[in-house]
Chain A
Amino acid sequence: MIALPLLLPLAFAILNVLAWKSPRGQRALSLVGVALQSGAAFWLLGRVRAEGILHLPVGNWPAPFGIVLSADLFSALMLCLSAVVGLAAALYSQGGMDERRVRHGYYPLFFFLLTGVNGAFLAGDLFNLYVWFEVMLMASFVLIALGGERPQVEGAIKYVVLNLLASTLFLSAVGLLYNLCGTLNLADLARRLPGLEAGGEGTLIAVLFLVAFGIKSAIFPLFFWLPASYHTPPVTITALFSGLLTKVGVYALYRVFTLLFVPQGGYLPTLLLVLAGLTMTTGVLGAAAQMDFRRLLSFHIISQIGYLLMGLGLFSPAALAAGIYFMVHVVLAKTALFFVAGLVRQMEGSYHLKELGGLYARRVGLALLFLLPALSLAGLPPLSGFFAKLALVLAGFELRAYAIVGVGLGVSLLTLYSMTKVWNEAFWKERKEMGAASLQPVSPWMWAATLGLVAVSVAAGLLAGPLLDLSAQAAAQLSDPSGYIQAILGGAP
């Protein structure tokens, strides 16, 4: 039953609505929900590994006519990532989410968000993908504005307007594609598009998809909503968003540009690589100018998206595998870093690097929890970031794409610089004045969530071999659409 990772969060969203009056009940329910969801996601991954690409024709309508849910290895891997991030965020919320927001529906929204994200990973039909995107967006709109503090509503306006514009463009591309092919099933499209000689209309649709998903995944000229809004809600919500939302955009890019518009020859590979390079560079340079912990990390999200795009732009099986492994790495490391930022804020009362200081002397454990994902993000061995970048660089050398490899390595150095800056400011230097910040006790749940996620992130580095093998299998499925088409449509005409 491949719909399980989709049905479980939906069921728990509804259960949480029913338990509206009881925040304690909702907190307990949420833990059960994310645990079950993780079980379902990893079980699905096991099944997809054993049995190949699975699909479920919803309502028993055969594939090109009805809606299908499909799960290949890439989808299953993404579902596992979303489950891990969901699990960590639910644990972190036990202590990190204030009573007021829980009373106003934090947990139902949390599960609706996961429903949308998982649905997008399972969608086998473009319009269905659009609908799941909207489910996810609606939940995220409310989550980002939940609480109604001044920076939040300001950030929410920018977030909402630009993401709605992206949805509009996405839907236009869907309409034009339907006009061109008469179908919206991904496998059916993948079968028909190559024979169509679409020409100008094909280019238009491809670029509309690129812009629409580009806004959602925050690539170079389209990322401005992200640093303007991501740092405004409580850090649990930011961590959840950074781990999941932009990655759904990247997932959609990978899906559309491996199945429908293959970047081989023509303008697409160059365009994708140029955008990848610029995304990395602007992201990391933007981060260099920031003194607010969360804003700095938000800019790093953008910079890492560039690497994911680089994997797609190079478009060899090795590069796609590197991109998929990079996705695993960045989701874990980034979410862990946001969790650490939340812990720092809880203990020291500030996100501002100038006001912080001396954390290494007073809190060695916290310093270590920051250091591991930070160095992983910068790409130091033996952490996951090193292997992810190594795989990308090797794939780049194989294709003689020296320019993008050079940019990638340079940005990696700048990332290290940026992480060193945080280390110097928050952990190393003397704290100027201790301030009147009321030091709140940190809930053990938050420690447990951060510790667990950092441990998983380190494990992803230590288990780089098996994970890279898995990514390579997923990439093999992506780079050969005929397997996907065969699995979904079977022998259908």
Chain B
Amino acid sequence: MTWLLAITAGVLFAAGLYMILRRSLVKILVGLALLSYAVNLLLFNSAPLLPARPPLLPPGNGAPPEVYADPLPQALILTAIVISFGVTAFAVVLMRQVYGTLGTDDLNEMRCTDVPCEEVEIASEEEQMEEPL
């Protein structure tokens, strides 16, 4: 089981990295989602997977059982899922905004902030203001 999860996490990492290297915004979005799944699986795998060993104290006796599953990674994943949900939702809105403002989803056409292109900066002052984030 550990091996299966490890290989799945690896495949997800590879696919996610490949996708965020693409030029299209939507593919980058998919890549980010895949990466967050990969990390969640990795976290899931970070404590030994023990079936049917709940981390519960037996009634009456104060000492925990000798072998019990570690519940902490699940708690970490839950937090990570919530965070990645929020981040992905924001990324979707941002990319919609980018598409609305620039009319393209090709990253190669978004070089305005890397190379000087003055006319765009001046033109943008008042025009694209009706749909703020």
On A, residues with C-beta under 8 Å from B are 100-101, 104, 127, 131, 134, 137-138, 141-142, 145-151, 153-158, 160-161, 164-165, 167-168, 171-172, 174-176, 178-179, 182, 227-229, 231-232, 291-292, 352
Contacts and interface: CB of A to CB of B under 8 A. Distances in A.
A159 B91 CA distance: 11
A110 to B, nearest CB: 15
Nearest to B43: A175
Interface in B111-131: 112-114, 116, 118, 120-121, 123-125, 128-129, 131
Contact of A291 (B94, B101, B116): B116
B110 interface: yes
A361 to B, nearest CB: 26
Given A156-B94, A178-B47, A292 B116 contact: yes
Nearest to A231: B113
7 contacts: A104-B132, A148-B128, A154-B110, A161-B32, A168-B36, A171-B39, A178-B46
Contacts of B43: 171, 174-175, 178
Interface stretch (B50-58, B59-67, B79-87): B79-87
Interface residues of B, number: 47
B83 A149 contact: no
A149 B124 contact: yes
B133 A142 contact: yes
B97 A148 contact: yes
A147 B113 contact: no
B39 A150 contact: no
A179 B132 contact: no
Contacts of B94: 141, 145, 153, 156-157, 160
Given A145-B94, A148-B129, A157-B25, A164 B113 contact: no
A167 B83 CA distance: 11
Given A131-B83, A138-B86, A178-B43, 4 more contacts: A151-B121, A161-B28, A174-B43, A175-B42
A146 B132 contact: yes
Of B28, B36, B46, which is in contact with the most chain A CB atoms at under 10 Å from its CB?
Answer: B46
Contacts of B97: 145, 148, 153
A151 B124 contact: yes
Contacts of B73: 175, 178
Contacts of A161: 20, 28, 32
A112 to B, nearest CB: 12
Given A149-B124, A150-B101, A151-B120, A157 B95 contact: yes
A190 B30 CA distance: 37
B102 interface: yes
B14 interface: no
Contacts of A175: 39, 42-43, 45-46, 73, 76
A147 B102 CA distance: 14
Given A147-B129, A148-B129, A150-B102, A178 B72 contact: yes
Contact of A153 (B35, B70, B98): B98
B132 A100 contact: yes
A391 to B, nearest CB: 36
Nearest to A143: B133
A131 B87 CA distance: 12
Nearest to B117: A151
A164 B91 contact: yes
B90 interface: yes
B66 to A, nearest CB: 16
Interface of B: 20, 25, 28, 32, 35-36, 38-39, 42-43, 45-47, 70, 72-73, 76, 79-80, 83, 86-87, 90-91, 94-95, 97-98, 101-102, 107, 110, 112-114, 116, 118, 120-121, 123-125, 128-129, 131-133
B95 to A, nearest CB: 7
Contacts of B116: 291-292
Contact of B98 (A154, A171, A176): A154
Nearest to A142: B133
Nearest to A137: B87
A168 B80 CA distance: 10
A370 B116 CA distance: 24
B46 A157 contact: no
Contacts of A100: 129, 132
Given A131-B79, A172-B39, A148 B25 contact: no
Nearest to A162: B20
A148 B131 contact: yes
A168 B39 contact: yes
Of A146, A154, A165, which is in contact with the most chain B CB atoms at under 10 Å from its CB?
Answer: A154
Contact of A179 (B38, B47, B112): B47
A174 B114 CA distance: 33
Contacts of A134: 83, 87
Nearest to A291: B116
A199 B98 CA distance: 45
A155 B133 CA distance: 14
Contact of B125 (A141, A148, A149, A231): A149
A150 B128 contact: yes
Contacts of A165: 20, 32, 35
Of B73, B86, B113, which is in contact with the most chain A CB atoms at under 10 Å from its CB?
Answer: B113
A232 B46 CA distance: 40
Contacts of B124: 149-151
Nearest to B91: A160
